[in-house]
A and B are shown apart, each in its own frame.
Chain A
Amino acid sequence: MTWLANLPVSYAVGLHFDWIFFWHALVRPNSSFLLGFATTIYISIIAMVLAILLGLFLALLRRSRLWPLRAFVGLYIWVVRGTPLLVQLVIVYDGFAALGLFSFNDVTVLGLDIQGVVQAGIVTLAANEAAYMAEIIRAGISSVAIGQSEAGLSLGMTPGQVMRRIVLPQAVRVIIPPLGNDFNAMMKSTSLLATIGVSELFLNAQEINSLTFRTFEIYSVAALYYLALTTLWTLVQSTIESRLQTQVGIQRPPTFRQRLIGVGWRPGSGRLRDSA
C-alpha cells in the first residue's frame, strides 16, 4: 500500500482543500479583508436607516389626499420593485455619469473620506429598499384597528399626532418581522456593490482569490462572514420583537434558538403555545 501514501492527496480523494489557508483566512484575515467586512456592515446599516426613513415618507405620501402624490409613490414602487438591483446599481453609478446627469465624487465628511462608489451604493440600496419598506410600513399602518385612530381623534389629537402617538407605535410590532427579513437580505445584497468597485467583503474575497487561486476556500470564508452577520442580526431582531411584545402584554414570539434551528417550535403553532 505504499504507492497510495506516495500519491498527492488531491489525486487520491479528488479534492484539494487547503485547510491551513482556510483557517488562516477565517481566523486571521488580513486588514483589507476586515476593512471590507466593516464596509459591508456600515453600508448595510446606513442604507437600511435611510430606507426606513424614505419608506416611511413614501408610505405616508401614499395616504395623501392629493392623488398625484399617491400616483407618484405607486409609480416609484412599481418601477423599483420591478427592476433588478444590479441594473439599478449600474444605472445610478455608471448610467447617470455617462448621461452627464450626476456623478458621485469622493467627498470628505467630518474627516472621513467617502468614496463616490460607496455613496452610489448606499443611495441605490436605500432607494431600492425604500420601495419595499413603503409597502411594509403601509401594511403595518393598516393593521392598526380604525377604532384606535378614532379614539385618538376624539381626544382632540390632530391626524398627525394620532399617526405618531397611536398608530405608528402599534404598527411597529407588525413592521419589525418583515423589516428584519429585508435587512437580512440587504446585508447580502451589498455583495452586488463589488460590481461597481466598492471594496466590501465580497470584492476583497475576489481579490484574494485572484492572487492565491484558493477559490473554494476564500469564498467559503466570505460566506461564513455573511452567515455570522445575519446570525447576529437574527439575535438582535428576536430581542427587539420580544421587547415589543411584552410591552403590550401579549405572548412572546419564537426565541432565537427556535427560529434559528426550529427546535421546540412548529411554524404556525409556536405563537399560540405561550398564550395557552
Chain B
Amino acid sequence: MRKHFGPLEVLRGVSLQVGRGEVVVIIGPSGSGKTTFLRCLNHLERIDGGRILINGHLIGYRQRADDRLVEASRRETAQRRSEIGFVFQSFNLFPHMTALMNVACGPLRVKKVSRSIGLQEAADLLVRVGLADKLEARPAHLSGGQQQRVAIARALAMKPTLMLFDEATSALDPEMVGEVLAVMRELAEGGMTMVVVTHEMGFAAEVADRVVMMDQGQIVEQGAPRQVFDAPAQPRTRDFLSKVL
C-alpha cells in the first residue's frame, strides 16, 4: 500500500497480512504512518498504490477488466465498511443521540433490522461493556472512558469481522485507560480479528499475537511480542522502545 499527502510520502510500500482471529498491534513513533495505514483499511483515506483485500473483497476500489483500480461506488464502499469496525481516538459519538441510539443506529439505519431487535442488541452490548446504567445518557454526560466503551459497542453492533482501533486510549485520562483496555482484551480473547494502533506497550505485550513496528511509512520489523520487545532486531525498534519503555 502506498499513500502520499502532496509531496509527503506517508506510506512507502506497506504490506501486511492479518489472519482470521489474529490480534495485530502496530507501534511506532508519531508520524510513522500508523494511523494513516489504519484509516486506509476502511477507505477513510484513498490510497495511491497497492490494494486492500478484506474477506477477499477490495475496499474502496473496483478492479476493471484491464486490472486497473477505479473508485468503487458509494454504496459498495459503504457495504464494505459496514463489515469493519472502527474505533477513533476522539470517540466521535453522535452527541444528539443517547448511548443506546448511538449503538443501535448502525443496525437500524444500515442493516435495517427491526427496531425492537436493534434496540435489544444495542442494550445487550452496552451491558457487555459495563454500561448497563447509561443506556439513556447523552455522550456529553459520559466520561471519556465511558464514551469510548460506547464507541466500541457501536462498532460491534454491526457484527464486524474486523475491528480497527486507532489509539483508542490516547485521549483518555490515565485512570480511564484500564476500563477501555479491559474491553479490548476481552474482545481479543473472544476471537475477534483486530488491528490496533496504540502506545500502550503493556497491552501490546500481553494481548497481541503479533507486534508490527512502523517508522517513516514502512514496516521496520514484526514478530511475536516477546521477540519484538525483548530482542528487537532493528536499531530503529530498539531506539523507539528505549524511549517509550
Contact = CB atoms under 8 A, between A and B. Distances in A.
Interface of A: 145, 147-148, 150-161, 165-166, 169-170, 247-250
Contacts of B86: 150-151, 154
B105 A165 contact: yes
Contacts of A157: 78, 106, 109-110
27 contacts: A147-B92, A150-B86, A150-B88, A150-B92, A151-B88, A152-B94, A153-B44, A154-B42, A154-B84, A154-B155, A155-B81, A155-B82, A155-B105, A155-B109, A155-B155, A156-B81, A156-B82, A156-B110, A157-B106, A157-B109, A157-B110, A161-B109, A165-B105, A248-B95, A248-B96, A248-B140, A249-B138
B160 to A, nearest CB: 9
Which residue, of B84, B92, B93, B110, has the highest number of chain A Cβ atoms within 10 A? B92
Nearest to B111: A156
B128 interface: no
A265 B140 CA distance: 25
Given A158-B74, A248-B96, 17 more contacts: A145-B92, A147-B92, A148-B94, A151-B92, A151-B93, A151-B94, A153-B44, A154-B44, A156-B110, A158-B78, A161-B78, A165-B105, A165-B109, A170-B96, A248-B95, A248-B138, A249-B138
A156 B83 CA distance: 8
Contacts of A248: 95-96, 138, 140
B75 to A, nearest CB: 6
A67 B85 CA distance: 34
A247 B94 CA distance: 12
B78 to A, nearest CB: 5
B151 to A, nearest CB: 8
Interface of B: 42, 44, 74-75, 78-79, 81-86, 88, 90, 92-96, 105-106, 109-111, 138-141, 151, 154-155, 158
Contacts of A160: 74
A156 B138 contact: no
Contacts of B140: 248-250
Contacts of B85: 154
Contacts of B106: 155-157
Q: What 3 A-B pairs are tightest by C-beta distance, nearest first?
A: A156-B82, A151-B92, A154-B86
Contacts of B81: 153-156
B170 to A, nearest CB: 14
Contacts of A147: 88, 90, 92
Contacts of B84: 154
B128 to A, nearest CB: 18
B110 A155 contact: yes
Given A249-B141, A250-B140, A155 B158 contact: yes
Contacts of A156: 78-79, 81-83, 106, 110-111, 158
A155 B79 CA distance: 9
Given A153-B81, A154-B81, A159 B74 contact: yes
Nearest to A166: B94
Contacts of A148: 92, 94
